Amino acid sequence: MKMDLAPAVTAALLFTAFHLQAAPAVSSGHGGAVATVSEQASQAALQILDQGGNAIDAAVAAAATLGVTDPFSCGVGGGGFMLIYSAADDKVISIDHRETAPAYFSPEVFKQDGVAMEWQDVVPTGISVGVPGTVLGWQEALTRYGTMNFEQLLAPAIKVAEDGFMLGENFNRISTINEGKFSRFSSASQLYLKDGKALPVGTHFRNPDLANTYREIAAGGARAFYEGDIAKDIVAAVNQPPVTSGTRVLTGSMALSDLKDYEVRVRQPIHSTYRGFDVYGMAPPSSGGIAIAQALNLLETFDLSTMSRAEVEHLYLEASRLAFADRNAYVADSEFTDVPVAGLLSKDYAKERAKLMGEKASAKREPGDPFLYQDDPSVPLRPSNATLGQESTHTTHLAVSDREGNVVAYTFTIEDWGGSGIVVPGRGFLLNNELTDFDFSAPHPNVAEAYKRPRSSMSPTIVLQDGKPAFTIGSPGGSTIITTVLQTLVNHIDLGMSLPDAVNAPRMSQRNGDTTLVETLLEFPGSDQASALEALGHRLAETDQIGAANGIIFNDDGTVTAVSESKRHGVGTALVQQQ
Ligand code: GLY
């Protein structure tokens, strides 16, 4: 019997080549540095750095390439937060380009017959789609801090989209999870499925529509996205989603003016101190910066240096629980609600709340009263609903630095893996479902309103010591972003791990729930470390993996080390300039 093995052998050889060529997850050197989850994206950033671009330029080039190679986590159909340390200004600033709710929005949009809809029913619809912020965010960052233009910076991504690349396990895994969602939409089915199934590992994947979208942005700037034919196509896709035969979905009512009027916000970051470090994070509408600072303030009231690893990890979990109790109750878009930022960040408030942290794991905590620690304690807000809403655990994060000393920590997203599932027909990118990050039940500070930005957990973080960048870290993962970044800080600062060890240590996530999430991929369940925490009363729940962190550390000897994941999300790529 004669069998044609050629396709299988070719696929196997391609698969092997893909793995043999895998780039390093940790690199050190003297030049600019980059860490992302995508080899092509890290290469794009390195190429821009080698061409003389700075970290902001390289971050945009990497982000655009991630939109091609990691399209289920991020892209021009979404939004994000870019934290920048500008060496020239010696300042950290943030560029908020979070998606906004369109003008037609009200809390009623997420209700049917007066009852709040289920989160998973809202995700794959037109009503989950927020006005995308990514392209204007890139433009704002480049106008203020960059040195190159879109034509130069989108070129590497256009090449990857046009030439194509070989699909790896991660791409296949995520599109397999999304088969049901993508099957609802003809444009997504055509791009990401074959006969209703995910494209197999080893497929040569091209996205010429996205290459053309990038070309239009390169030629016309952000206005080409927000006012031209692309804007019309986005509005049509939201309001009349391209459904497959027999599928019905809820339609949005986005207007062209929603896109035309979209604005980026340049915001002061959240600043806190921790054991001699200055920690900068993202302000509202992200809850990340506040929650991390608050948990660090709680931990700072303890002398962790004399404690065992289990005792430190126990207190980390308890601090996270208390920070989440307040985060869930108080944090939302500060342009719409009076977030008690000063109170939440107060060291005196932390001292009071730390009295709740005992030697054993506690049960679910109620929010505290940060208003007593505000400059104006008369602010009367007392939210009633302090539960953790449902969020996806996806998104992406990248880190870039350059020889001038600039640092970029950039987290951006389309929310769920595959966002709303709606690919804009002919444009090659997925639209977000970011509006499901709102709370669906009013009253709550994070309830959906017109022009409001849903609360995020994204936590791009830059840490300074003696006024200079010490390291930067960030991660995807929905609300587990906060715990991933917090735990990495504790691992590095308190447990003395190198940044690669801190990133690669098993993660545990406590968000004021009944259980603490731990990772099977890292073989944490059943380990001595797990048993030690269980002995302290922590109840563990298992998930495959948590987050996909990327960071850079600036070493005392003048070198930099770029750090990506060595196991999670299919191994990341960390590169440092050699020339
Ligand atoms: N959608 C994820 C976040 O904003 O945190």
Q: What is the pLDDT of residue 389?
A: 65
Give the CB-side neighbour count of residue 487, counting CA atoms within 13 A: 31
pLDDT beyond 60 at 8: no
User: What's the whole-number mean pLDDT along residues 106-126?
Assistant: 96
219 C-alpha to center of ligand 1: Å?
A: 30
Q: Which atom from ligand 1 is nearest to the alpha carbon of 437? A: 1
For 390-418, what is each residue's pLDDT tens digit? 666 678 999 999 999 999 999 999 999 99
pLDDT beyond 50 at 457: yes
User: What's the whole-number mean pLDDT along residues 60-68?
Assistant: 98
For 152-201, what is each residue's pLDDT tens digit? 999 999 999 999 999 999 899 999 999 999 999 999 999 999 999 999 99
Q: What is the pLDDT of residue 441?
A: 84
The 3-class secondary structure across 149-210, one letter per residue, is CHHHHHHHHHHHHHHCEECCHHHHHHHHHCHHHHHCEHHHHHHHEECCEECCCCCEECCHHH
453 C-alpha to center of ligand 1: Å?
A: 11
For 127-143, what is each residue's pLDDT tens digit? 999 999 999 999 999 99
The closest residue, in CA terms, to atom 3 on ligand 1 is 456
User: What's the whole-number mean pLDDT along residues 430-459?
Assistant: 95
Count of C-beta atoms within a 10 Å radius of residue 305: 10
Q: How many Å apart are CA 556 and CA 553, to the nearest integer?
A: 10
Contact in structure between 341 and 349 (CB atoms under 8 Å): no
Amino acid at 219: A
The values of phi and psi at residue 574, to 5°, are -115, 125
pLDDT beyond 90 at 492: yes
Q: What is the pLDDT of residue 393?
A: 64
Q: For the ranges 30-39, 327-336, 381-390, which has the lowest average pLDDT? A: 381-390
Fold of 27-265+390-576: Glutamine Phosphoribosylpyrophosphate, subunit 1, domain 1 (3.60.20)
Give the CB-side neighbour count of residue 268, counting CA atoms within 13 A: 6
Q: Which atom from ligand 1 is nearest to the alpha carbon of 434? A: 1
Q: Is 395 a residue of the active site? A: yes
Contact in structure between 350 and 499 (CB atoms under 8 Å): no
Domain boundaries in the chain?
27-265+390-576
Q: What's the distance, CA 63 to chain centroid? A: 12
Contact in structure between 298 and 112 (CB atoms under 8 Å): no
- 81, 391, 459: which to mutate for ligand 1, most atoms within 8 A of CB? 391
The closest residue, in CA terms, to atom 1 on ligand 1 is 415
436 lines ligand 1 (CB under 6 A): no
Q: What is the pLDDT of residue 503?
A: 98
Q: What is the pLDDT of residue 56?
A: 98
Band (439; pLDDT cuts 50, 70, 90): very high
Q: What is the pLDDT of residue 18?
A: 41
pLDDT beyond 60 at 11: no
Q: What is the pLDDT of residue 1?
A: 27
Q: Could you tell me the pTM of the whole model?
A: 0.94
Q: How many Å apart are CA 144 and CA 57, to the nearest integer?
A: 11
pLDDT beyond 50 at 55: yes
The 3-class secondary structure across 369-435, one letter per residue, is CHHHHCCCCCCCCCCCCCCCCCCCCCCEEEEEECCCCCEEEEEEECCCCCCCCCECCCCCCECCCHH
User: What's the whole-number mean pLDDT along residues 10-25?
Assistant: 50
Mean pLDDT of the chain: 93
Q: Which atom from ligand 1 is nearest to the alpha carbon of 415? A: 1
Band (347; pLDDT cuts 50, 70, 90): very high
The two tokens of residue 347 are 């060291």
Q: What is the pLDDT of residue 394?
A: 76
437 C-alpha to center of ligand 1: Å?
A: 7
pLDDT beyond 60 at 4: no
Collapsing DSSP states into helix, strand and coil, what is residue 28? strand
Q: How many Å apart are CA 406 and CA 56, to the nearest integer?
A: 8
The closest residue, in CA terms, to atom 4 on ligand 1 is 456
